[in-house]
Chains A and B, each alone.
Chain A
Amino acid sequence: GAVVSQHPSRVICKSGTSVKIECRSLDFQATTMFWYRQFPKQSLMLMATSNEGSKATYEQGVEKDKFLINHASLTLSTLTVTSAHPEDSSFYICSARDYTGTKTNYGYTFGSGTRLTVV
């Protein structure tokens, strides 16, 4: 089935630095990927929709200059948290759609998430 790999699974960074999170579709091509953020004991919140070869679409209230998204190929989207601060500490999850349309779930597959801790 469709697999989405996310890397790193955990990262600790110093306040003020930038962190890049990668999301790869391993066995399918994904023209659209989604990025979510999840705080402890809360649900997933959609941050942005990543479109291959074009600019990402951000949800209301999400700072596009702080959360840079690049979707340069059909199998890779990256989320860069710039000038990270402790309040950016969260669980970041990506999702991708397999447009070959596998019956199993019409291809909305989620990565395993990245735990970001900013100290």
Chain B
Amino acid sequence: DAKTTQPPSMDCAEGRAANLPCNHSTISGNEYVYWYRQIHSQGPQYIIHGLKNNETNEMASLIITEDRKSSTLILPHATLRDTAVYYCIVRHNTGGFKTIFGAGTRLFVKA
């Protein structure tokens, strides 16, 4: 699976949009981009995933560049409860493919 690069930490003001970048320049054509987050002492929580089109759900939006070498997770109105470590992962979507975690981005949402 392709590797990802994320900034180690970011700050965001409560109520503002949080934009979390991820580089995945070695992504292959059939690998998806997944985002998970982990709140302290809990298991990872799925946020969103996509292949090449932008995606939106009730939690976030995912913007994938046209060349698919990078993506941005957008939390439109960050709250204090969004403080967590956010992991960007690229992975095949079939069979028993493993989910390999990088270091992630620690997002601090401040009041």
Nearest chain A CB to B38's CB is how many angstroms away? 8
Question: Per DSSP, are chain B's interface residues mostly helix, strand or loop, or mixed?
Answer: loop
- 5 closest residue pairs by CB, A with B: A110-B43, A105-B46, A32-B96, A44-B101, A43-B101
Contact yes or no, B96 A49, CB < 8 A: yes
Nearest chain B CB to A6's CB is how many angstroms away? 7
Contact yes or no, A46 B43, CB < 8 A: no
Question: Per DSSP, are chain A's interface residues mostly helix, strand or loop, or mixed?
Answer: strand
B93 at the interface (CB under 8 A from A): yes
B100 at the interface (CB under 8 A from A): yes
Q: Which residue of A lies closest to B100 (CB)?
A: A46
Q: How far is the CA of A12 from the CA of B86 in the complex (A)?
A: 29
B window 76-108: CB within 8 A of A: 85, 87, 93, 96, 98-104
Contact yes or no, A34 B98, CB < 8 A: yes
